[in-house]
Amino acid sequence: MQMIILIVAIAAIILGGAKYFKNSNPTDTSSLETNTIKTASDTGIADMIGEAKGAAKAMENGLGGNVTTMGQMMTTNEEMPVYADGMYTKTGTYISPAGSETVTVSITLASDIVTNATFTSQAINPNSISNQAKFATGYSDLVVGKNIDEIALTVVNGSSLTSNGFMDAIAHVKADAKILYNSN
């Protein structure tokens, strides 16, 4: 419905321009001056915008719904979430001096903001178990309440490699949660 309204508004702008210039003689340039062209152009654009706004308001009143202008659509598109809301649980891997280790991360997203996060250690090596435990006590304040695209953990409570596994899991969450908007 919004697309139809947008098309009608654009048509009103185009038709308004045609109406404004329909009485002019394109072959008679003898009386044209720069100021006249500027004024006609400015006035024509202002008239067309006014007519489009009037048409949109009339359609809104007639249809009893909301009419979205092109400016509002651009603002809305800029504010549209990148990721779908929901809870995502993913495993991340990293290489420790003792070998490959994994972590499990659950993230809850709402409008691209992490509203909850849990971290589960899957370590096998005693040093990795210790480092993952250190990480688990400090990561939450760095993640919850943040936009998922702004999360970039490196060292948390002295644990650096565990952060790599956490960020790997976040990358998997982002891949699964990504919203693909239709550009048509």
One digit per residue, pLDDT tens: the chain, 184 residues? 454 454 545 555 555 544 444 444 555 544 444 444 444 445 555 565 566 566 556 555 555 555 455 454 444 455 789 999 999 999 999 999 999 999 999 999 999 999 999 999 999 999 999 999 999 999 999 999 999 999 999 999 999 999 999 999 999 999 999 998 766 5
Q: Are 69 and 9 in contact (CB under 8 A)?
A: yes
User: Quick one: which of 58, 76, 75, 80 has its CA closest to 67?
Assistant: 58
| Residue 180: predicted pLDDT | 84
How far, CA to CA in Å, does 11 sit from each of 15, 55, 67, 114, 121? 6, 10, 15, 42, 60
| Residue 37: predicted pLDDT | 44
Averaged pLDDT of the chain: 77
| Residue 45: predicted pLDDT | 57
Cα distance between residue 100 and residue 97, in whole Å: 8
Cα distance between residue 111 and residue 141, in whole Å: 19
**pLDDT one-digit tens code per residue, 94-147:** 999 999 999 999 999 999 999 999 999 999 999 999 999 999 999 999 999 999
| Residue 109: predicted pLDDT | 98
| Residue 157: predicted pLDDT | 96
Cα distance between residue 65 and residue 175, in whole Å: 36
Q: In the 8-state DSSP scheme, what is residue 149?
A: G
Cα distance between residue 35 and residue 39, in whole Å: 6
Q: Are 143 and 119 in contact (CB under 8 A)?
A: no
Task: Give the pTM.
Answer: 0.58
| Residue 52: predicted pLDDT | 57
Tokens 């249809």 -> residue: 63
Cα distance between residue 130 and residue 50, in whole Å: 67
The secondary structure of 15-29, three-state, reads HHHHHHHCCCCCCCC
What region, left, alpha or beta, does residue 155 occupy, with left being phi > 0 and alpha being psi -120 to 50 degrees? beta
